[in-house]
Amino acid sequence: MLNAEISSVSDSVSQTRLKIVQSPDRIKRTITTMGATVVEEKKMYSVLEMKSRDLQQKANALLTIEKVAMTSSQTEGGFDHISGCSQLCGATSDSS
C-alpha cells in the first residue's frame, strides 16, 4: 500500500517537473523571435494584399477594355467608342 502511494507521488512529481521550464531565458528569446516574425509576416501580408487588390483592379480594367474593343470592332465606328476606357487606363485619346 505504501509502495503504491510512493509510486503515485513519484509520478505526480515527474509530471510536475515536465511542466517546469528548464531555461526561461531561452523560452523568452524564442517567444520574442516568434513575435518579431509574426509582425514581419503581417507586414508582408499587407503588402501582398495591396498588390493583389491593385492587380485585380487592373485585370478588371483590362476586361472592360476588351469588352469595349470587341463591341467596337463589331460596329462601323471602329475604336471611337473606346474613349471611356482611356480613363480606366489613365491614357488620353489621340484619335479625336
Dihedral over Cα of 57, 63, 64, 65: its sign: positive
**94-to-62, 79, 80, 82, 86 alpha-carbon distances in Å:** 19, 11, 10, 11, 10
Q: For the chain, which residues make up each domain, given as ranges?
A: 24-96
pLDDT 10s digits, 58-82? 999 999 999 998 888 877 555 554 5
pLDDT 10s digits, 7-58? 999 999 998 888 887 788 988 999 999 999 999 999 999 999 999 999 999 9
